[in-house]
Structures are given as structure tokens and as C-alpha cells.
């Protein structure tokens, strides 16, 4: 049974989400405090964290940053903040999805189900190596190494990079990338993909203004530009 941690200061919201998710077959733990959530995360194994940003002791952004220091666990952010810049900030610090309150518990449960279907359905895939071994993408371990050093990627960043890499030379538009990785917030698709691409480039490109791996094809999308 997959375990989910909800860090949400509104107990009524937590109770509703817990009821929906447990009905769908998940084991759900809840806390109203960010620091307690970090403690629970460090002592238990979770596949998903549903994280509110407005917490009484420490804000959700800080919780996410702390978790991202050691883990690539999936993080769904819940917040009353709906402006695009705030969504971009959430993605930049490592969120995988961003839901603005009020939202439907049925929608969130559907997204959680889609996430776990995708994870369970993943079969072994080829590992890929580029640029004479300088960049290695290991699908089984979901790891990326650059010059032999492992680089930390969020789940969606990894899936975007892998999708482009195994389709090297082929241009993928934003809708195709969304379809291949699934699970990204349905609002502001173009901006969401662009934010992830920007973060990927920061991690693997020597010159982000003149990238050699992730190439922008103007008005179309992106392609992987280096041969194996």
C-alpha cells in the first residue's frame, strides 16, 4: 500500500483529503505542522507529499526545500496563492504539481491515481549515455550523472530530460512533453514546461544561454541536440 503524507494546517481539509485517498486505497498520514511533517518524512517512507504552503510554524516553501535536499519524492503543493509567479516559484523549489484552493478532492485523488498508475506501469527502459560519457541518464535508478557526478533532479525534470534524450534530434512540443510525463498542473502548461526546461539547463549546461543538450526550436518546442 502506497503511503502519502499530508502537511496541511486546515484539519477539515486534511480530513476530507484523507477520506478520499483512503477510499482509493492509500495509507494516509496527516499533520498540521511543517516541522512535524519533516520529522515524519525522515522516519517513514512516503511516495507522495501533499504540502500546504501556509503553515503555522514554517512555510511550505521551506519544507519543500528541506525535503529536496535529500529526496526526489513527489510533492503536490496546495495553496491559496494563485498568481503565475507564485506557481513558478513553487516549481523552481521542487514541486511537481501546484493546486490552488479551493480545489476538488476528486480532482486531487484523480491526479494521485494517475501518478501512481504511471509509476507502477513504468517498465525497464534503456539507460542513455551522451557526449562521450559526460552525460549519463540511468532510467532504472532515475539518476543523472554529469562528468561522473550525480546531479539532483525532481521527478518531472528527470522525465522531461529522459523524454527528450530518447527522442534525440526530434522536436517535441510542450503538449507532447506534457503527455509523455503526465501529472503537471493543467493551468499554464507552456510556462510550466519552460520553467522545468530552465531548471534542467541550470543543472547540465555549461552555458545556459548557449545550450548544447536542450535546444529550443523557436515557436515549436525543444529537442535534444547531442548524439550518443
How does pLDDT run across 119-143, given as a tens digit for each residue? 765 544 667 888 888 999 988 888 9
Q: Where are the domains of the chain?
A: 3-121, 128-224
148-181 residue pLDDT tens: 999 999 988 998 999 899 888 889 988 888 877 7
Q: Where is pLDDT greater, at 160 or 83?
A: 160
Per-residue confidence (pLDDT) for residue 176, from 0 to 100 = 82
List Cβ neighbours of 70 (8 Å cut-off, separation of 6 or more): none
Per-residue confidence (pLDDT) for residue 86, from 0 to 100 = 66
List Cβ neighbours of 83 (8 Å cut-off, separation of 6 or more): none
32-66 residue pLDDT tens: 999 999 999 999 999 999 999 889 999 898 999 99
Per-residue confidence (pLDDT) for residue 83, from 0 to 100 = 62
Whether 68 shows a pLDDT value over 70: the answer reads yes
CA distance 119 to 17: 21
CA distance 33 to 60: 10
210-220 residue pLDDT tens: 999 999 999 89
pTM above threshold 0.75 = no
SS3 70: coil
CA distance 67 to 79: 18
Per-residue confidence (pLDDT) for residue 186, from 0 to 100 = 41
CA distance 68 to 92: 11
CB 193, CB 184: distance < 8 Å: yes
> Domain 128-224 classified CATH 3.40.1160.10?
no
Split at pLDDT 50, 70, 90, the class of 188 is very low
Q: What angle do CA 114, 115, 117 make, to 5 degrees?
A: 65
Alpha-carbon Rg for the chain in angstroms: 18
Q: Name the CATH superfamily for 3-121.
A: Response regulator (3.40.50.2300)
Whether 80 shows a pLDDT value over 80: the answer reads no
Q: One fold for both 3-121 and 128-224?
A: no
Amino acid at each position: 500500500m502506497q503511503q502519502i503524507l499530508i502537511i496541511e494546517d486546515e484539519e477539515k481539509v486534511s480530513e476530507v483529503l484523507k477520506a478520499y485517498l483512503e477510499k482509493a486505497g492509500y495509507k494516509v498520514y496527516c499533520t498540521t505542522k511543517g516541522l512535524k511533517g519533516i520529522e515524519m518524512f525522515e522516519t517513514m517512507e512516503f511516495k507522495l507529499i501533499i504540502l500546504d504552503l501556509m503553515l503555522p510554524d514554517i512555510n511550505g516553501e521551506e519544507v519543500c526545500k528541506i525535503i529536496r535536499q535529500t529526496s526526489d519524492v513527489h510533492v503536490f503543493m496546495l495553496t491559496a496563492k494563485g498568481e503565475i509567479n507564485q506557481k513558478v516559484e513553487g516549481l523552481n523549489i521542487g514541486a511537481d504539481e501546484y493546486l490552488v484552493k479551493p480545489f476538488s478532492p476528486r480532482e486531487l485523488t484523480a491526479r494521485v491515481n494517475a501518478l501512481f498508475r504511471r509509476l507502477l506501469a513504468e517498465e525497464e527502459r534503456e539507460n542513455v549515455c551522451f557526449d562521450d560519457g559526460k552525460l549519463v541518464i540511468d532510467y532504472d535508478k532515475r539518476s543523472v550523472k554529469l562528468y561522473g557526478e550525480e546531479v539532483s533532479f525532481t521527478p518531472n525534470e528527470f522525465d522531461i530530460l529522459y523524454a527528450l534524450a530518447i527522442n534525440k534530434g526530434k522536436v517535441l512540443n510542450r503538449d507532447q512533453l506534457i503527455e509523455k510525463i503526465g501529472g503537471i498542473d493543467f493551468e499554464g502548461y507552456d510556462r510550466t514546461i519552460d520553467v522545468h526546461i530552465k531548471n534542467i539547463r541550470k543543472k547540465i549546461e555549461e552555458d545556459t544561454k548557449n545550450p548544447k543538450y536542450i535546444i529550443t526550436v523557436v515557436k515549436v518546442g525543444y529537442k535534444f541536440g547531442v548524439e550518443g
